[in-house]
Structure 1
């Protein structure tokens, strides 16, 4: 299932919305607040095949802009003991400059290029990794090492090869076709919080209302969920022993407590949901 665990690993998730600039460039539609649903968004959804029953269909990732990125960075020390750190972008959701897509992308790609972690995502092969490359190209950014590829997959980090262990898509690992679960489904029945308060369908509205902080909070929930699901699958794959798996869950809990003590009160809801689901799934 999962072949390896690299010394550095990042369980990550990205949030994006249709890009008003793309609507203007492609269709000549300017983004004109104070509309509750900007004409630019409406046109993007129309071109993507909107219907009365399905008014906000999937828009190609290259035509969307990244608004937040969150991840759990795992690093194994010289003593063999892992440590976890929460990473969130924009670093200050109240600062318009730091909320610019170009600034978010540059910070993230530099971090990946510098530490070359194993990337873990959910549907990241179809969405998160492609949008990183696509939007970096749109913004005219270099790859900062993220876009580099070794001659052979085993000779270094390759985030674009299915033969490389440096990118793990948990969704593709769990299923194909009609048996492919959503993150919310896979996590929840495993006793891990799925969607808490917000779903991806609401991100565009929150961004239009200037509620970037709320999107960052939601993005952090998904990062924790992705990491907990990765740990469960690494346990199944024989890469984490049962004591190691239990330690990983403890490390996540300690990280949650640390972030809450630092002022991230929204994570209290995550812990409450985790406790609720664990009580239910304990029946297994």
Structure 2
């Protein structure tokens, strides 16, 4: 269980796909081989079977395509502001979708703002892929990489025991088959899990079809879900009493409803509707 709630909390989630450029380099594939065929060959080289056609690929072989986060900022007077952000901001702009640019913007912001990062399996997946791909793409993330001489002397995004790097999967305990997924924890708590039949297995196909916008929307859903699960765990741990917990949820709802007024954010209105449905089913509506 985490020990603190910092004044700046970023609940984040990242999405990635097999990187065709990595496949061409590692497996000496023709430069003009279509991305779809390269990705299929990458899966084949890494043990694809009829039962498991899309085996795990090492993070170094993957391309990060989206990062979304819910930010919670509390000022000295105790006023709380909630926001939802995503990279790329403009999925139709190739420059905005550049992997190095996405990584650089996120890690530079972390190093400058020094938030408490919150994820689900973030120490085992999201942060490692950012670090590995950041190195491969040649970016600099000096602020993010600074580490204290002693664990208690400052922020540290590399230590699994750091309060600046909260992995909810570790916070809830259990290992192996007994460990719930984010979707399971969320839905059983009245929080939306995966929506519309789109899940992690859908991301690669969507990317190959040019569906960056759909991936970014899915990414935002996961970031909001991660934040709401964090909020529920923080309530369980006593950081928020019952009234404060309701107020914090209301802040999230208000933020989503405000953003959903924009035509491009209809997916957020769908999220709120699903949230209402699930809250009713678990008796919290």
TM-score band (shorter)? over 0.9
Question: 2:150 aligns to what?
Answer: 152
Instruction: Kindly state the Cα deviation for residue 248 of structure 1 after the two structures are TM-superposed.
Output: 1.1
2:160 corresponds to: 162
Equivalent residue of 2:106, what SS?
helix
Partner of 2:272: 271
The equivalences for 1:1-284 within 5 A come to 1-30=1-30, 32=32, 38-174=36-172, 175-197=174-196, 198-263=198-263, 264-282=265-283
SS of the aligned residue for 1:12 comes to: strand
Query: Conserved in 2, the CA contact under 8 Å of 1:148 and 1:158?
Result: yes
Cα RMSD (Å) of the superposition?
1.5
Structure 1: which 4+ aligned runs deviate by more than 3 Å?
A: 30-35
Q: Quick one: distance in 1 between partners of 2:49 and 2:96? A: 35
Listed as ranges, the gaps of 5+ residues in structure 1 are none
Question: Quick check: 1:20–1:40 contact (8 Å CA) kept in 2?
Answer: yes
Q: What is the rounded CA distance, in whole Å, between the counterparts of 2:31 and 2:256 in structure 1?
A: 38
TM-score by length of 2: 0.95
Partners of 1:31 and 1:76 lie apart in 2 by 50
Checking the alignment, whether the CA contact within 8 Å between 1:14 and 1:219 is kept in structure 2 is yes
- Residues 76, 30 of structure 1: CA spacing in aligned structure 2 closer, same or farther, 3 A cutoff? farther
User: Per-residue deviation at 1:31?
Assistant: 6.5
CA offsets per residue over residues 152-180 of structure 1, 9 Å max, x none? 12222101112210011111222312111
Contact between 1:30 and 1:39, CA under 8 Å: does it hold in 2? no
Q: TM-score with structure 1 length normalisation?
A: 0.95
Question: 1:20·1:30 contact (CA, 8 Å) conserved in 2?
Answer: no
Q: Residue 144 and residue 262 in structure 1: after superposition, are their counterparts in 2 closer, same or farther (change >3 A)?
A: farther
Q: Deviations over 1:45-103 (max 9, x none)?
A: 12322110110011111210100000001110121121111110001110011101011
Q: CA 1:269–1:30 in 2, change beyond 3 Å: closer, same or farther?
A: farther
Q: Is the 8 A contact 2:190 2:284 kept in 1?
A: no
Instruction: Count residues with an aligned counterpart.
Output: 282
